[in-house]
Amino acid sequence: MPHFDQTLDVKGAKCPMPLVKSRKAIAELPVGQVLQVISTDRGSVADFQGWAKTAKNVELIAQETVQENGQELYVHYLRRTA
């Protein structure tokens, strides 16, 4: 698990809410810090990859899938770069 500075829990949220909430959370972070985003939306894996490809201030450091109480969680680590 990469180091992170803040966590955003978007479990249950549907696309595009995880992305919109993450964009707002990243904007509140100092440059260089890392946001951990926890989602239940399988599609968030591709969504966050797409965001990192086009956004100018975000680097996708890592993604992982974890099990919690029989539920799959999709965890994303994003660094604010500008």
Partner 1 sequence: MQHQTTCNALQQQTEVAPLRSYAVTDRVLLAAQPQPADWQRFVEAGYQTVLNIRSDPERAAVQAVAARAVGLRYIHAPWPAYELEPEHLAEFARIVEDPATGKLVFHCRSATRVGLIWMLYRMVQQGWSREQAEAELRAAGYDDDAIETFDFCASDFFERFDPQQR
15 is an interface residue for partner 1 by CB under 8 A: yes
Alpha helices in the chain (DSSP H): 17-28, 44-54
Q: Is 65 considered catalytic here?
A: no
| Nearest distance, CB of residue 80 and partner 1, angstroms | 14
| Nearest distance, CB of residue 15 and partner 1, angstroms | 6
Q: Which among 16, 42, 36, 41 has a CA at the least distance from the CA of 80?
A: 36
Cβ proximity to partner 1: between 34 and 39 the closer is 39
40 is an interface residue for partner 1 by CB under 8 A: yes
| Nearest distance, CB of residue 48 and partner 1, angstroms | 9
Active-site residue (options: 15, 20, 31, 66): 15
* Phi, psi dihedrals of residue 59, rounded to the nearest 5°: -120, 130
Spatial strand order in the sheet of 58-68: 6-10, 34-39, 71-80, 58-68
